[in-house]
Amino acid sequence: MPRFPESPSAALIHAAGKGSTSSGDRSAATERRSAQRVRVSREDLEGYYPTSDDAGRHTAADVVRNQHDLTDPTQPGPGQRWSTWRSVAKGQRGPEPLPDWVVTRDAAIDTELGILKTGKEADAFLIERAVPAGVDSTPDLTLDQAATRCLLVAKRYRSLEHGQFHRGSEYTEGRTVRRTRDQRAMEDRKSAWGRAVSATQWADAEFVALRTVWEAGAPVPYPVQIDGTEVLMEFVGTEETDDLGRTQAIAAPRLTRVRPSDDLLESYWEQLTHGMSVLARLGFAHGDLSPYNILADGERLVIIDLPQVVDLAANPFSSDVLLRDCRTVCDWFIARGLDVDADALFADLLAQAF
Ligand SMILES: Nc1ncnc2c1ncn2[C@@H]1O[C@H](COP(=O)(O)OP(=O)(O)OP(=O)(O)O)[C@@H](O)[C@H]1O
Ligand SMILES: [Mg+2]
């Protein structure tokens, strides 16, 4: 996987907490970057990097276009890399038809804007993929593609060594791993190759699941591409410009944090059950469905975090997993005042699956 040319950590929010005690000896360049640094709320960093001044906000990132002094802004600088769009094979890119916002130009540069969330097994980063100003902005006619800037989420899986993988055989039971060498390697958790393969397998599983269910019409982020342990997908959220003219990317909140009106609650229920039905008809259960893995993007609801999708036919635990998904989401809707029934939803989904 192509790496960012220099460690991007200096541009990331989690450095802010650490830096607060040593701001006196920072260089001017570091200070400048710090002022432009991504802002992320406490809830979005739970357990890892406590922040001080953003309580009540959603994940928010200052969108920085020039984080560094560049002699040539058309070349990647620190915290940047060339767009990886062309460096992956066609099968590692998202399904057709490609949404028109996806940037595919060779001249595009990926800029890491900050970390959205560190998870147990993966970290989610906000990435801007953009053709820099100064590069001929005429669309590449062979690609018939005009987009010059988009925001993406890079979900990067950690190897077992660094992650705390809690998803075990309950999920992978009945799943086929393509190469027996990989299968054996995964079982041998002491080998570095085994740990690396495992992280790649989870990334692979998430990308394939996203691609399959997106194509079938489920409300999930568009999967842009996969590159080793990194899945790039649509950023679900909005961009806003404040009074000072600063643009911020604001990630959609998780369902846990919203209090929708009655009408919106009903609409969310319909969107969610539609998504679960699409999965069921494909023979899947999400496997970790909860208000934490559902984003409320205004009126749109988006299901995320799908690496552990469970095969309803092949996995002996699938009924338990599906029932748990149904109960978890129904509990949330019931607590918000909607009269729904987990057992009825479970029965309905099973009927659609088989
Ligand atoms: N496409 C996206 N657009 C906007 N925000 C996203 C997107 N994907 C993930 N996030 C943010 O990152 C968080 C973590 O993503 P995800 O649940 O996929 O990863 P995870 O490693 O499984 O995290 P966890 O261990 O907390 O479940 C989400 O709760 C959400 O806030
Ligand atoms: Mg999650």
Does any domain span residue 197?
no
Ligand nearest to the CA of 123: 1
Does any domain span residue 102?
yes
Say which residue, 42 or 340, is predicted with more confidence. Answer: 340
Say which residue, 341 or 75, is predicted with more confidence. Answer: 341
For residues 181-197, average pLDDT: 57
**Whether residues 128 and 275 fall in one domain:** no
For residues 56-70, average pLDDT: 42
Ligand nearest to the CA of 250: 1
Does any domain span residue 208?
no
**Which CATH number fits the domain that encloses residue 264?**
1.10.510.10
Mean pLDDT of the chain: 78
pLDDT at position 195 is 60
Range of the domain at 136: 8-155+222-251
- pLDDT of 220 strictly over 60: yes
Condensed to tens digits (0 to 9), the pLDDT of residues 65-98 reads 444 445 688 899 988 999 999 999 999 999 999 9
Does any domain span residue 165?
no
Is residue 352 very low, low, confident or very high in pLDDT (cuts 50, 70, 90)?
A: very high
CA dihedral sign, ordered 80, 81, 86, 90? negative
**Whether residues 270 and 139 fall in one domain:** no
Q: Note whether 38 and 117 are within 8 A (CB).
A: no
**Whether residues 241 and 346 fall in one domain:** no
- Find, among 41, 38, 61, the residue nearest to 50 by Cα: 41
- Find, among 154, 131, 114, the residue nearest to 234 by Cα: 154
Kindly state the tokens that stand for 192: 């570095």
**Whether residues 231 and 281 fall in one domain:** no
pLDDT at position 245 is 84
Is residue 163 very low, low, confident or very high in pLDDT (cuts 50, 70, 90)?
A: low
**Whether residues 235 and 280 fall in one domain:** no
For residues 3-20, average pLDDT: 30
**Whether residues 325 and 243 fall in one domain:** no
* Ligand 1: residue whose CA is nearest its atom 14: 117
Does any domain span residue 123?
yes
> Which among 156-170, 181-195, 233-247, 314-328 has the top mean pLDDT?
314-328
For residues 160-187, average pLDDT: 59
- Residue 184 to residue 45: CA distance in whole angstroms: 35
Ligand nearest to the CA of 122: 1
**Whether residues 237 and 262 fall in one domain:** no
* Ligand 1: residue whose CA is nearest its atom 13: 117
Please give the distance, rounded to the nearest whole angstrom, from the Cα atom of residue 118 to the centre of ligand 2: 10
Q: Pocket around ligand 1: residues whose beta carbon is below 6 Å from it?
A: 44, 116-117, 119-122, 124, 153, 155, 221, 233-237, 251-252, 254, 293, 304-305
| E strand or H helix that includes residue 183 | helix 180-187
The domain boundary, picked from 251, 269, 293, lies at 251
Does any domain span residue 78?
yes
**Whether residues 261 and 134 fall in one domain:** no
**Whether residues 145 and 233 fall in one domain:** yes
Does any domain span residue 182?
no
The count of structural domains within the chain is: 2
The residues whose Cβ lies within 5 A of ligand 2, an ion, are: 293, 305
**Atom in ligand 1 nearest the alpha carbon of residue 221:** 1
pLDDT at position 188 is 55
**Atom in ligand 1 nearest the alpha carbon of residue 121:** 21
- pLDDT of 182 strictly over 70: no
**Whether residues 241 and 264 fall in one domain:** no
pLDDT at position 6 is 35
The domain boundary, picked from 204, 230, 251, lies at 251
- pLDDT of 53 strictly over 50: no
Please, what's the b/e burial string for 19-47 (b: 16 or more CB within 10 A of its CB; e: otherwise)? Answer: eeeeeeeeeeeeeebbebbbbbbebbbee
Query: Which amino acid type is present at position 143?
Result: L
**Atom in ligand 1 nearest the alpha carbon of residue 235:** 3
The domain boundary, picked from 233, 251, 269, lies at 251
**Whether residues 19 and 95 fall in one domain:** yes
Condensed to tens digits (0 to 9), the pLDDT of residues 100-136 reads 999 999 999 999 999 999 988 899 999 999 999 877 6
Please give the distance, rounded to the nearest whole angstrom, from the Cα atom of residue 69 to the centre of ligand 2: 36
Does any domain span residue 205?
no
**Whether residues 232 and 273 fall in one domain:** no
Secondary structure (3-state) at 337: coil
